[in-house]
């Protein structure tokens, strides 16, 4: 007769899970013992938050279940931020949150934490296995929910339940359905009629365009329409696309902004872009999304339909009369060329051999294999990743776009590497971000996960400093006193090198990429890089001007000179 712990592990393995990230302890011991005897690989992280990030990247990139497991109280609580990130990325992760024994629940027992209200806010399923009889069915339902609803599922398992014998009963299987969903014929006819009336049509594609690259490009060709994309759709739409005008929004460029704001007809394809000021006021907007709750959520739309992007375009294309007028498209592509040129200006060596962060990203993107996986920290590295890692159609980027957390990149790289041992996995880390979960560099060594970490060492919480400056505030509490991260990495068992001058960068990046084991490059980057939005709001200019006046009055004229130099160069 099996124990409940064995049944849980067996059910999750049968549902496709092959890795579990966690820290063992007390109430989890029967579960870890069952994992020890299974085909699931246990990956021992040093902080559970890192495990939450790693499992999310693993699940997001593979589309398969990834697991986390923690001890009761603080152990399972520590996953929270990593799992918020993973949930908001729609990654199918199951957390086994072990719990104190049932008899003591509700008496403020040592390490008692009521996980349900805590994890309910970042999960698609959050239930306690109350009896051994529930174990098989609830575990299967957790896996089913994570895969079908795409998000985190949490199983709370009291220690006396996991160690109990489970009844013999048939296994519950998990099903991954792949239906073909598209709007009704009459709806497609109406979309075609709207498009027929448009004079300046723009397409805005989001992550719903994964697996729909060719269809979206074919539609753009038929409509002679520019394609702008969200940051999440970078991997799916940027490459091999002569209609691409890039992103809009604060991380985007002028071309994407121009296409959306000046079109008369906008087709939203699987995108849920949150920043409402970047939607056009007057255009006719048609939205196609697999999730009906997304329709009109960000901005009013004239027509909203439910469908998978590829299947919908396949059914829509025969209803559309191809166009030849490309005036609007050409206008947007001219803006695009200018945007690329402007953004490229900083991807060069700075004055006196300074390393612009854009240049560092550009060098890495040029030298890394075409199928590399990149992760980037919340803060300025995510912006450099979005703008300067060239999409190849094979590479992937994992960025904290919805949750916007710090310290995600290195642990997400661990999960990506565990899932794809044959691919180069690169973490673009902030100096603030890497320090936050530094201990998990040890996981790269201990678990033999040879990730490549690049630290953008600008000596500051730079992104916050920029935010403060554009609001007209003086920067405060953003200074970082850093160690030499290369020597720290070496002491931890990684390969490490520090780079301060641009002339040494390329050879250092080559050595770093060629190192067989985990490796960290500590790169001193220029601090005064402004992450310029495509259209600087009037308020932001006023904020900068105000900052400049305050800074000069406070004897910080050099800072202003640094920013202005970078803006103008």
Ligand X SMILES: Cc1ncc(C[n+]2csc(CCOP(=O)(O)OP(=O)(O)O)c2C)c(N)n1
Task: For the chain, give percent helix, strand, coil, nearest 5.
Answer: 45, 15, 35
* Residue 16, H or E segment: none
The reply on whether position 378 binds ligand X by CB under 6 A is yes
Query: Which of 9, 34, 406, 488 is the binder for ligand X (CB under 6 A)?
Result: 406
Residue 409: CB partners within 8 Å, gap ≥ 6? 375, 376, 377, 381, 398, 427, 428, 429, 430, 433
Calculate the alpha carbon distances from 294 to 91, 306, 546 in Å. Answer: 18, 9, 39
The reply on whether position 485 binds ligand X by CB under 6 A is no
Please identify, using beta-carbon distances, which residue of 84 and 257 lies nearer to ligand X.
84
Query: Which of 357, 430, 496, 518 is the binder for Mg ion (CB under 5 A)?
Result: 430
Please identify, using beta-carbon distances, which residue of 393 and 404 lies nearer to ligand X.
404
Instruction: From 146-154, 180-188, 316-324, 372-380, give the range in contact with ligand X by CB under 6 A.
Output: 372-380
Residue 20: CB partners within 8 Å, gap ≥ 6? 35, 40, 41, 42, 43, 55, 66, 67, 68, 69, 96
Q: Minimum CB separation from ligand X for residue 55, in Å?
A: 18
Residue 531: φ, ψ to 5°: -85, 95
Residues numbered 441 to 500 that lie near Mg ion (CB under 5 A) are: 458, 462
| Angle made by CA atoms 532, 533, 538, in degrees to the nearest 5 | 100
Alpha-carbon distance 226 to 204, whole Å? 9
Residue of 496, 415, 503 whose CA lies nearest to 66: 415
Q: Minimum CB separation from ligand X for residue 120, in Å?
A: 21
The reply on whether position 460 binds ligand X by CB under 6 A is yes
Q: Minimum CB separation from ligand X for residue 489, in Å?
A: 16
Residue 399: CB partners within 8 Å, gap ≥ 6? 231, 375, 376, 378, 382, 385, 386, 408
Alpha-carbon distance 142 to 25, whole Å? 23
Please identify, using beta-carbon distances, which residue of 6 and 377 lies nearer to ligand X.
377
Query: Which of 40, 461, 470, 551 is the binder for ligand X (CB under 6 A)?
Result: 461
Please identify, using beta-carbon distances, which residue of 74 and 483 lies nearer to Mg ion.
483
**Residue 404 binds what, of Mg ion, ligand X, none (CB under 5 to 8 Å, by partner type)?**
ligand X
- Which residue number places its CB atom closest to ligand X? 430
Residues numbered 154 to 183 that lie near ligand X (CB under 6 A) are: none
Query: Which of 6, 235, 462, 522 is the binder for ligand X (CB under 6 A)?
Result: 462
Please identify, using beta-carbon distances, which residue of 92 and 378 lies nearer to ligand X.
378
Alpha-carbon distance 129 to 158, whole Å? 7
**Residue 381 binds what, of ligand X, Mg ion, none (CB under 5 to 8 Å, by partner type)?**
ligand X
Please identify, using beta-carbon distances, which residue of 64 and 467 lies nearer to ligand X.
467
Could you give the 3-state DSSP secondary structure of residue 448? coil
Query: Which of 379, 411, 518, 534 is the binder for ligand X (CB under 6 A)?
Result: 379
Residues numbered 112 to 141 that lie near Mg ion (CB under 5 A) are: none
**Residue 464 binds what, of ligand X, Mg ion, none (CB under 5 to 8 Å, by partner type)?**
ligand X
Count of residues engaged in binding Mg ion, rule: CB under 5 A: 5
Calculate the alpha carbon distances from 437 to 324, 407, 430 in Å. Answer: 54, 6, 11
Residue 7: CB partners within 8 Å, gap ≥ 6? 135, 136, 139, 166
10 Å CB burial of residue 121 (0-12, 13-18, 19+) is exposed
The reply on whether position 3 binds Mg ion by CB under 5 A is no
Count of residues engaged in binding ligand X, rule: CB under 6 A: 19
Please identify, using beta-carbon distances, which residue of 444 and 460 lies nearer to ligand X.
460
Q: Minimum CB separation from ligand X for residue 525, in Å?
A: 8
Torsion of CA 426, 430, 435, 437, to 10 degrees: -50
The reply on whether position 378 binds Mg ion by CB under 5 A is no
Contact residues for ligand X (CB under 6 A)? 377-381, 404-406, 430-433, 456, 458, 460-464
Contact residues for Mg ion (CB under 5 A)? 430-432, 458, 462
């Amino acid at each position: 007769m099996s124990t409940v712990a064995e049944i849980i592990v067996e059910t999750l393995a049968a549902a496709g899970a092959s890795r579990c990230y966690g820290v063992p302890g007390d109430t989890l011991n029967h579960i870890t013992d069952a994992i020890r005897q299974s085909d699931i690989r246990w990956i021992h992280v040093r902080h559970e938050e890192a495990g939450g990030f790693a499992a999310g990247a693993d699940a997001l990139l593979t589309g398969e279940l990834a697991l986390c497991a923690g001890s009761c109280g603080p152990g399972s609580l520590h996953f929270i931020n990593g799992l918020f990130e993973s949930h908001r990325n729609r990654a199918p992760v199951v957390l086994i949150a072990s719990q104190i024994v049932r008899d003591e629940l509700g008496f403020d027992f040592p390490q008692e934490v009521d996980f349900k209200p805590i994890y309910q806010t970042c999960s698609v399923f959050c239930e306690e296995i109350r009896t051994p009889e529930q174990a098989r069915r609830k575990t299967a339902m957790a896996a089913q929910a994570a895969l079908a609803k795409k998000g985190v599922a949490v199983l709370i398992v009291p220690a006396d339940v996991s160690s109990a014998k489970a009844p013999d009963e048939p296994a519950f299987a998990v099903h991954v359905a792949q239906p073909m969903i598209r709007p009704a014929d009459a709806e497609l006819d109406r979309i075609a009629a709207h498009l027929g009336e448009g004079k300046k049509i723009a397409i805005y594609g989001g992550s719903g365009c994964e697996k729909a690259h060719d269809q979206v490009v074919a539609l753009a060709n038929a409509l002679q329409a520019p394609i702008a994309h969200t940051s999440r759709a970078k991997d799916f739409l940027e490459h091999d696309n002569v209609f691409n005008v890039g992103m809009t929004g604060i991380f985007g460029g002028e071309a994407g902004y121009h296409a959306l704001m000046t079109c008369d007809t906008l087709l939203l394809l699987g995108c849920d872009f949150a920043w409402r000021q970047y939607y056009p006021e007057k255009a006719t907007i048609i939205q196609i999304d697999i999730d009906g709750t997304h329709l009109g959520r960000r901005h009013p739309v004239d027509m909203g339909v439910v469908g998978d992007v590829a299947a919908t375009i396949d059914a829509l294309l025969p209803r559309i009369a191809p166009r030849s007028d490309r005036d609007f498209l050409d206008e947007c592509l001219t803006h695009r060329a200018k945007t690329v040129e402007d953004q490229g200006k900083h991807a060069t060596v700075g004055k006196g051999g300074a390393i612009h962060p854009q240049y560092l990203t550009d060098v890495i993107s040029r030298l890394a294999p075409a199928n590399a996986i990149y992760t980037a920290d919340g803060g300025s590295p995510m912006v450099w990743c979005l703008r300067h890692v060239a999409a190849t159609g094979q590479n992937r980027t994992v960025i904290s776009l919805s949750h916007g957390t710090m310290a995600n990149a290195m642990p997400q790289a661990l999960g990506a590497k565990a899932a794809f041992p044959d691919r180069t996995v690169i973490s673009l880390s902030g100096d603030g971000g890497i320090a936050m979960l530094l201990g998990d560099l040890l996981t790269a060594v201990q678990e033999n996960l040879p990730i490549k970490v690049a630290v953008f060492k600008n000596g500051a919480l730079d992104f916050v400093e920029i935010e403060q400056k554009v609001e007209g505030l003086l920067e405060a509490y953003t200074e970082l006193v850093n160690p030499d991260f290369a020597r720290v990495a070496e002491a931890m068992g990684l390969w490490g090198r520090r780079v301060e001058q641009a002339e040494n960068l390329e050879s250092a990046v080559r050595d770093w990429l060629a190192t067989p084991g985990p490796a960290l490059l500590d790169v001193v980057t220029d601090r005064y890089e402004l992450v310029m939005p495509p259209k600087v709001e009037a308020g932001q200019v006023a904020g900068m001007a105000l900052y400049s006046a305050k800074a000069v009055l406070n004897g910080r004229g050099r800072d202003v000179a640094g920013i202005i130099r970078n803006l103008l160069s």
